Structure 1
Amino acid sequence: MALQARVLYDFEGDIENGELTISEGDTITVINQDIGDGWWEGELSNGQRGLFPEAYVEMLSGGGGGGGGDVPYNGDQSYGDQSYGDQAAGGYGNQSGYVDNTGEWDDTPNSYYQQDNQPPPFNRDDSFRTERSDSTAGTSTEQLSRHATVKKNMNRFSPFVKVGAESFLLGTAAKKAPRIAEAEKIRIVYGPENEPMWEPHPNPYHIEVRDPEKKSKFKGIKTFTAYSIVPSDTGNPVSRRYKQYDWLHDRLTEKFTACTIPPLPDKQYYGRYGEEFVSKRKEKLEGWSNRVARHPVMSRSFVFRHFLTCQEDQEWKAGKRKAEKDEFCAAQMLLTVDHRDVRTDLNTATEKVEHFGKFVVQMDDTCNKMFQKFDDHCNKMSGPIMREWHRMSAVVTGLGQCFHMEDAPYARGLTEAINTTGSTYEEIGNMHGEQPRHDMIPMMDGLKEYLGMIHELPDFVQINRGAQGKVRESERLKDDGRLDMVEASEIQSRTETIATTLLAEIYHFQHERVADYRKMFQNMLTSQITFYSKIVSKLQDTLDKFDVGQDYGGGAVSNHGYDTRQPYDSSVPGTDL
């Protein structure tokens, strides 16, 4: 049963930051209480979802937590069942029991506990302080007013926060990360166009997926399909099932949060052992594997190489645990980026990232339209167009059957040619029904893959904007004398790392796109040329049938009272019948 809460105080939320605007007396459905930092996620009766301060509501019957005003102050710096005495420097401590910058309770007449119907003091400028603030506890108010820190983003769902860029930029990721080994470093170099790019793999390889085999475990209770995975650099096959591919995808997504992780082929629970389905999945898994193998960073990662090369079951389990405990995931992954030889101008990087954002939106729209149009054409090819050719075949064949009733020797050649025309139209109709499998459907598979990649693509624009915002904030604090130059310089340097990482991934995505779409269109057009060439060939062979037997009886038959006519030749004027 969903948790319900009653709003105690008005709160005007920032819509752009995913917050709700709530009014006293509203009832709100609590969706998630684990947001942290004094925030909950909820839904209003009108369907609007967003964040709101937990201290502004009280739970209705059966609910737990919340900052309801009916819980008395107990005199030991706690409010209800939550203690706020140690939250002067972190999170949302000042929303449910006001704590000033010195960590002491506010004793002014405006104290929350001395007025009725007043909301807990709420100041976004005091929220989401970095861990550096912990070191200021116990210092004087004058010292705190002169030294500030760059605050965390209000919107905890923004891509800037979710991919770990904020944690990296503010230095909190570095405090938790171990020493970076040389093998863990991810290098960025200049590409041929003098653009940042991932350092190419020194020994590129490709992957073949083959020999799908139905297997079982637990004495046949559980069945699954296993595929033989063969990387070209080792030549040694390993057996993997879809479940292991799913695990690999999750690990890559968790580790490389600033990279484009291609989506896996869709799961299927019915008919998943059918020969056609297994063959199609094998083809898609091979394409997915090779896309990861072409990525200069993911192709060298431990988790991917473990997936491709591990043979023994015990070794697999040990490597699996190691990958799941990888300490360089999300924000920590950015710590391993080494771009010492690449300098990035932040203004130029912003222009390129913003342009890429617009490009992706336009690409998503046009690829969707193209997919829908091609899907419509496929339905027409295997439906109305095929049936139209079949109907033409039927009427032409009907004429041939009629002419067959007069089976004179001089008429047989024409009758047979007409019947052949009917058969040709039938074949052409069948060819139209089969053709989408050779041109449109492969193209649609490619479009669907890229649409999935676009939807899973981190929002580079929001990540870059978030980083640039922190740089501007640090510059203001530095100019005010509230942030030392060393810390401001570190934020500037980390922002450059983020920007360079984004540009390197954009470079890889765009070059992959050019190669993929060139191949997709070449394959489609080649298939269509072959298709229409076959139709022309069949029509030409059918046309030639009408030349057979036209001179039966030795020359023209005008001596019997009929007109002498030349055979049809489109290249000679005046030969029309």
Structure 2
Amino acid sequence: MADPILGYANTLYEYNGVSDGELSFGKNAVIAVYEEAGDDGWMEGELNGTRGFFPEAYVEYTPGIGSTSSAAGLAIIPPPPPLKTSQSGENLAQLSSNLGELDTMYDDDGNGEAGYYQPEPDYSDADFDSYLNTDVDPALALYISSSWEWQDALPYFDVDVSSPDKRKKFAGMKSYKAYTITTASQSWSVERRLKHCQWLRVQLVNKFPLIPVPVIPVKELVGKFAPREDKTAAIASFIENVVRHPVLRATDVVQHFLSVSAQADKRTWKAGKRRFEKDPITGPMFYRTIVPSAPVTGTDVPNFIDSFMARAKATVPAMGKAESTIIALGAQARNVAQLYIESGQCFRVLAETMGSQPPAFRAGIEAIGDAMSGMAIELTRHAKTQDLLVRLFEWHSTVTKLTDSVLRAEQKQRTKYLAAAARASKKIVNTPVEVTRLKSQEQVVMAMTSVAMAEVTHFLSSQLLDFKAALKAYITRELDHHRAMVAHWETALSAVDAMPASKLPGKLKL
């Protein structure tokens, strides 16, 4: 079966392929796209029966429904053929299995996946009496050390997320991208789609109301910074941050996500999903599992939390400005790339009009056009750099969750407890119910304060270190980018130096 057509690219400028395997085309042609652009800024498609590669910067790409017809224009895609009764039982079973997944299918450009972006629950005003009297398996206890750090229940392990591979469903009528997640230390390797990662995040958010679960900043990146870029950077960052967290990586749902194949062992995968979606230890029950190593006494810890909250909130506007600036730089780079393309074509036309000049003279002018075309491709590729933006979104999200949810919830419950304790102290006698309720509130505050401190400690030790590495990588890429731009000009300069010196006539007679 021929490769499906992923969409169509309308050519904006003329392009002459410079090597075997590249397409040549004029303006306003329509290319059927078989492979979308990767980090290098090149696409693969077919034009007039010829298949080859072409630069993304020269076209306007419109994703579409897959087709297997050749590209002679924007072909109308016929509906799928009806199911034949002569198909084998195996094929029918496979089709039935596929149809059973229709309610959970999402396309790969983010449409439909927004269903996983739901408001995160807020349990800061929950009534804690009922669940604090509920027994919880001691094996589920989460311990916090006297230095306000989560105690590791499972040693840290590395994960690797590869660039996506295209997979097909429904006899090739549907394609999607699958990312291979490898955990070498455990000999695990599974394929996951974006919707699987978003499902995992929903389970973690519901289970741990006071832990800022890492974000998957796909919505922020796609359509703003790199419209057609794959989501590898965002997904890899999410998985890495999950396994870096001492509590999250030890959960059964994360272990299930990393170890059970949704393709090879579909029954086990789905059974695990149903079990985790019905997990009773979620929401307010999370507080019941917290075991601080020492009681929170005095005012030092609350004062530290209040101070950190004030400082962290002050950084949020600067983060937002940095994000918008990087997005604007990416958009500007794409605009400059278009100008370089147009200028490069002007120099090529200029070279063609000088047919009477020596070849080296024309070659020098053409070299300037080639340099501008090369810089346009480099600018388009560079505009897709996402790592720093991913880190900014992560940092922004974590700080916002810490300040607006975790620390604010801790402050609210602490204030309620102190008010209740003050009222109780003024009474001569408190009823057993009042004593029990006050004790429950004290346990809640103890748990929430301990978790808040542990999360602040984790943020300061990991997120900021990651951000430093991202900054260094960003600067290194900027240097490499500018060196590549200079190299194009240096090549053009060498060609211009080789142009013959032209002498004017001694005198011009009018």
TM-score by length of 2: 0.62
Q: Name the counterpart of 1:90.
A: none
What is the percentage of aligned positions where both structures have the same residue? 17
Name the CA shift for 1:418/1:504 in 2 (closer, same or farther; >3 Å): same
User: Which amino acid letter does the alignment assign opposite residue 447 of structure 1?
Assistant: L
Asked if 1:180 corresponds to 2:130, the answer is no
Contact preservation (8 Å) 2:212, 2:401: yes
| Distance in 2 of aligned mates of 1:496 and 1:347 | 13
Q: Name the counterpart of 2:405.
A: 459
Q: Name the counterpart of 2:378.
A: 431
Q: Name the counterpart of 1:420.
A: 367
Name the CA shift for 1:423/1:233 in 2 (closer, same or farther; >3 Å): closer
Name the CA shift for 1:430/1:234 in 2 (closer, same or farther; >3 Å): closer
User: Which amino acid letter does the alignment assign opposite residue 500 of structure 1?
Assistant: S
Match of 1:338 among 275, 291, 301: 291
| Distance in 2 of aligned mates of 1:232 and 1:313 | 22
| Distance in 2 of aligned mates of 1:419 and 1:240 | 47
- What SS does the corresponding residue of 1:280 show, helix, strand or coil? coil
Larger displacement relative to structure 2 (358-367 or 480-489) = 480-489
- What SS does the corresponding residue of 2:331 show, helix, strand or coil? helix
User: Which amino acid letter does the alignment assign opposite residue 173 of structure 1?
Assistant: Y
**Structure 2: 5+ residue stretches without partners:** 1-119
- What SS does the corresponding residue of 2:246 show, helix, strand or coil? coil
Asked if 1:506 corresponds to 2:440, the answer is no
Q: 1:520-553: per-residue Cα shift (whole Å, max 9, x none)? A: 222221111111112223323333345447699x
Q: Name the counterpart of 1:447.
A: 392
The aligned runs of 1:531-546 (5 Å cut-off) are: 531-546=481-496
Shift of 1:199: 1.7
| Distance in 1 of aligned mates of 2:194 and 2:470 | 26
Q: Name the counterpart of 1:256.
A: 208
User: Which amino acid letter does the alignment assign opposite residue 333 of structure 1?
Assistant: F
Q: 1:119-173: per-residue Cα shift (whole Å, max 9, x none)? A: xxxxxxxxxxxxxxxxxxxxxxxxxxxxxxxxxxxxxxxx9x93257544xx432
Q: Name the counterpart of 1:568.
A: none
Shift of 1:416: 3.9
Match of 2:477 among 524, 527, 531: 527
Contact preservation (8 Å) 1:357, 1:460: no
| Distance in 2 of aligned mates of 1:503 and 1:338 | 13
Which entry has the higher C-alpha Rg, 1 or 2? 1
Q: Name the counterpart of 2:145.
A: 189
Name the CA shift for 1:322/1:393 in 2 (closer, same or farther; >3 Å): closer
- What SS does the corresponding residue of 1:377 show, helix, strand or coil? helix
Shift of 1:338: 1.6
Contact preservation (8 Å) 1:263, 1:452: yes
Q: Name the counterpart of 1:163.
A: 123
Larger displacement relative to structure 2 (241-250 or 252-261) = 241-250
Asked if 1:478 corresponds to 2:478, the answer is no
Q: Name the counterpart of 2:157.
A: 205
Match of 2:301 among 337, 344, 349: 349
Q: Name the counterpart of 1:155.
A: none
Shift of 1:319: 3.4
Q: Name the counterpart of 2:340.
A: 389
Q: Name the counterpart of 2:45.
A: none
**Structure 1: 5+ residue stretches without partners:** 1-158, 563-577
Contact preservation (8 Å) 1:257, 1:330: yes
Q: 1:447-471: per-residue Cα shift (whole Å, max 9, x none)? A: 3444455555552332122122123
Name the CA shift for 1:417/1:178 in 2 (closer, same or farther; >3 Å): same
Q: Name the counterpart of 1:62.
A: none
Contact preservation (8 Å) 1:229, 1:239: yes
| Distance in 2 of aligned mates of 1:334 and 1:196 | 16
Contact preservation (8 Å) 1:212, 1:282: no
* Count of aligned pairs: 375
Contact preservation (8 Å) 2:319, 2:392: yes
- What SS does the corresponding residue of 1:187 show, helix, strand or coil? strand
Match of 1:214 among 167, 179, 189: 167
User: Which amino acid letter does the alignment assign opposite residue 287 of structure 2?
Assistant: L
| Distance in 2 of aligned mates of 1:267 and 1:393 | 35
Name the CA shift for 1:370/1:419 in 2 (closer, same or farther; >3 Å): same
Asked if 1:379 corresponds to 2:331, the answer is yes
| Distance in 2 of aligned mates of 1:419 and 1:321 | 63
Q: 1:13-60: per-residue Cα shift (whole Å, max 9, x none)? A: xxxxxxxxxxxxxxxxxxxxxxxxxxxxxxxxxxxxxxxxxxxxxxxx
| Distance in 1 of aligned mates of 2:383 and 2:350 | 31
Match of 1:293 among 213, 222, 243: 243
| Distance in 1 of aligned mates of 2:321 and 2:187 | 41
| Distance in 1 of aligned mates of 2:349 and 2:424 | 91
Name the CA shift for 1:243/1:526 in 2 (closer, same or farther; >3 Å): closer
| Distance in 2 of aligned mates of 1:227 and 1:188 | 34
User: Which amino acid letter does the alignment assign opposite residue 249 of structure 2?
Assistant: S
| Distance in 2 of aligned mates of 1:179 and 1:547 | 80
Q: Name the counterpart of 1:565.
A: none
